[in-house]
């Protein structure tokens, strides 16, 4: 059975490895879609991914020289993801400090390109690998992408791991960090589901419920093909000793439910710092929620899950504008109707008065005519009598 929001990570040790490497896995989910994002110059150039949700995966390997390859599975439709490397961003010390929450300095090295992060107290903290770019994509010799209808499987190859370990102390960790933008339809988003009220078309404002259901390495929720890939490395898998999950959501969203058992902390994101880290743009205010799980008694972490439910108030601008337009039309029709009725009411007494005058005038004419007839008749009679007398 497959489930939305279910990811997987697994690494394989080299054949004959004498030491057992370990991995810390860092996941960040940035809820950007639907929020108001300030347009930047880079966002205009990268319109396909600007304002889109993205997930970041950090692989913190100890004993990396003993690792053959490391794979990541992203759910959904494989072609809905766009990958980019975050390694080069660690050249900014404030970015490195913000991600690891440590006082670090950054040292960019070349041949192969890499960044050493140094902590004043403990000298070399870790090395960040910078993937080379071939054309518009990450060099497939170092990062293999296999999209399918079940999702996207990304594999960090042995060549990438060897370059990350070049002239690096074996006891110091190496770090890979990738960003995957989700560019598919929002209703197909494998991590966030949106529930809209059925009567939203009748309301100018309504509340939308969203929930983020994140799962890691839950065998029962992974596609069969991914389970098979993981089983092929059975006995040589790199144990996971820590999982850190972070989600950043717009501050105007009311977070109503959280899986509290592994919650580490909550805070407000520093906008000035992280706008540099996400040059395509982020909302002006974001709330960050951290979860963390560590292996205990020497046992690795088998799986991990986190859940967030939030409610956001939205305005239906088309319906709001339509309501204004209808109200405006009703106002105009009301005024026109009132004017017409008033004019009709004013003209009725004048019409009645005119009709009455016409009736009186007609009656006077008839009386005058009758009098003339009578006068003529009298004159005629008088003439007749006069003639007879003559």
What SS3 state is found at 263?
strand
- Considering the domain architecture, whether residues 283 and 334 belong to the same structural domain is answered as no
- Considering the domain architecture, whether residues 292 and 365 belong to the same structural domain is answered as no
- Considering the domain architecture, whether residues 182 and 131 belong to the same structural domain is answered as yes
CA 306 to chain centroid, in Å, comes to: 19
Given pLDDT bands bounded at 50, 70 and 90, which one contains residue 296?
A: confident
Q: What is the pLDDT of residue 385?
A: 38
Could you tell me which residues come within 8 angstroms of residue 183 by beta carbon, excluding any fewer than 6 positions away? 48, 49, 52, 80, 81, 82
State the average pLDDT over residues 297-322.
Answer: 74
- Considering the domain architecture, whether residues 36 and 158 belong to the same structural domain is answered as yes
Q: In residues, how long is the chain?
A: 390
How far apart (Å, rounded) are the C-alpha atoms in residues 44 and 225? 38
- Considering the domain architecture, whether residues 72 and 159 belong to the same structural domain is answered as yes
C-alpha distance from residue 130 to each of 116, 144, 221, 228, 326 (Å): 11, 15, 32, 30, 58
For every residue of 146-174, DSSP letters joined together read EEETTEEEEEE-HHHHHHHTTT--TTS-E
Given pLDDT bands bounded at 50, 70 and 90, which one contains residue 18?
A: confident
- Considering the domain architecture, whether residues 54 and 190 belong to the same structural domain is answered as yes
- pLDDT, averaged across the chain: 82
Each residue of 162-177: pLDDT tens digit? 999 999 999 999 999 9
Nearest to 163 by CA among 138, 141, 135, 137: 141
- Considering the domain architecture, whether residues 184 and 156 belong to the same structural domain is answered as yes
User: Tokens for 41?
Assistant: 């110059």
- Considering the domain architecture, whether residues 260 and 372 belong to the same structural domain is answered as no
Given pLDDT bands bounded at 50, 70 and 90, which one contains residue 386?
A: very low
- Considering the domain architecture, whether residues 310 and 339 belong to the same structural domain is answered as no
Nearest to 225 by CA among 112, 49, 75, 117: 75
Nearest to 281 by CA among 29, 8, 15, 47: 47
Which of 261, 285, 315 is at the close of a domain? 315
For every residue of 291-313, DSSP letters joined together read EEEE--TTPPP--EEEEEEEEEE
State the average pLDDT over residues 222-232.
Answer: 91
For every residue of 206-258, DSSP letters joined together read EEEEEEEEEEES-GGGS-HHHHHHHHHTTTSBPPEEEEEEEEEEETTSEEEEE
**Least trusted range by pLDDT, from 22-36, 182-196, 331-345:** 331-345
- Considering the domain architecture, whether residues 157 and 277 belong to the same structural domain is answered as yes
For residue 81, pLDDT over 60 is answered with yes
- Number of domains making up the chain: 2
State the average pLDDT over residues 281-300.
Answer: 87
Q: What is the pLDDT of residue 167?
A: 92
Q: What is the pLDDT of residue 390?
A: 42
Nearest to 156 by CA among 128, 176, 137, 172: 176
Which of 283, 315, 347 is at the close of a domain? 315
What SS3 state is found at 315?
strand
For residue 122, pLDDT over 70 is answered with yes
- Considering the domain architecture, whether residues 287 and 156 belong to the same structural domain is answered as yes
Quote the pTM value.
Answer: 0.78
C-alpha distance from residue 334 to each of 89, 321, 330, 342 (Å): 63, 20, 6, 12
Given pLDDT bands bounded at 50, 70 and 90, which one contains residue 10?
A: very high
C-alpha distance from residue 310 to each of 194, 253, 264, 287, 288 (Å): 10, 6, 18, 12, 13
State the average pLDDT over residues 189-207.
Answer: 69
Q: What is the pLDDT of residue 313?
A: 64
Q: What is the pLDDT of residue 118?
A: 95
For residue 379, pLDDT over 90 is answered with no
Q: What is the pLDDT of residue 36?
A: 65
For residue 232, pLDDT over 60 is answered with yes
- Considering the domain architecture, whether residues 127 and 218 belong to the same structural domain is answered as yes
Domain assignment present for residue 1? The answer is no
CA 266 to chain centroid, in Å, comes to: 21
Expressed as residue numbers, the domain containing 334 is: 320-390
**Least trusted range by pLDDT, from 53-67, 206-220, 374-388:** 374-388
Q: Which residue has the higher pLDDT, 374 or 275?
A: 275
Each residue of 328-357: pLDDT tens digit? 777 788 788 888 888 878 776 655 555 555
What SS3 state is found at 13?
strand
How far apart (Å, rounded) are the C-alpha atoms in residues 314 and 20? 51
At residue 227's C-alpha, the angle toward residues 223 and 231, to 5°, is: 170
Q: What is the pLDDT of residue 389?
A: 43
363 CB-contact burial (10 Å; exposed 0-12 / middle 13-18 / buried 19+): exposed
């Amino acid at each position: 059975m497959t489930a939305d929001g279910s990811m997987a990570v697994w690494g394989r040790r080299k054949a004959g490895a004498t030491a057992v490497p370990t991995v810390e896995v860092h996941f960040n989910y940035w809820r950007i879609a639907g929020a108001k994002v300030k347009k930047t110059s880079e966002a205009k150039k990268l319109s396909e991914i600007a304002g889109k949700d993205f997930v970041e995966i950090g692989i913190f390997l100890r004993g990396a020289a003993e690792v053959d390859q490391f794979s990541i599975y992203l759910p959904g439709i494989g072609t809905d993801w766009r990958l980019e490397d975050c390694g080069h961003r660690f050249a900014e010390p404030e970015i490195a400090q913000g991600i690891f929450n440590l006082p670090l300095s950054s040292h960019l090295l070349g041949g192969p390109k890499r960044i050493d992060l140094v902590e004043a107290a403990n000298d070399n903290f870790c090395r960040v690998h910078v993937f080379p770019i071939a054309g518009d994509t990450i060099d497939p010799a170092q990062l293999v992408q296999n999209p399918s209808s079940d999702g996207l499987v990304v594999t960090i190859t042995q060549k990438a791991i060897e370059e990350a370990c070049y002239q690096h102390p074996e006891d110091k960790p190496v770090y890979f960090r990738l960003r995957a933008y989700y560019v598919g339809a929002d209703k197909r988003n494998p991590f966030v589901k949106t529930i809209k009220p059925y009567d939203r078309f009748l309301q100018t404002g309504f509340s939308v419920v969203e929930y983020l259901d994140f799962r890691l390495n839950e065998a029962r929720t992974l596609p069969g093909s991914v389970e098979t890939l993981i089983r092929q490395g059975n006995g040589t898998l790199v144990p996971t000793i820590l999982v850190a999950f972070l989600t950043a959501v717009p501050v105007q969203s009311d977070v109503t439910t959280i899986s509290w058992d592994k919650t580490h902390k909550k805070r407000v994101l520093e906008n000035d710092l992280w706008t540099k880290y996400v040059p395509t743009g982020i909302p002006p205010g974001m709330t960050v929620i951290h979860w963390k799980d560590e292996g205990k008694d020497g046992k690795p972490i088998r799986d991990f899950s986190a859940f967030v439910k939030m409610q956001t108030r939205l305005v239906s601008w088309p319906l709001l504008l339509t309501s204004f337009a209808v109200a405006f039309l009703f106002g105009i029709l009301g005024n026109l109707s009132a004017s017409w009725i008033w004019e009709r009411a004013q003209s009725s007494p004048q019409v009645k008065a005119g009709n009455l005058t016409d009736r009186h005038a007609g009656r006077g004419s008839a009386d005058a005519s009758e009098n003339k007839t009578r006068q003529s008749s009298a004159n005629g009679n008088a003439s007749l009598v006069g003639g007879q007398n003559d």
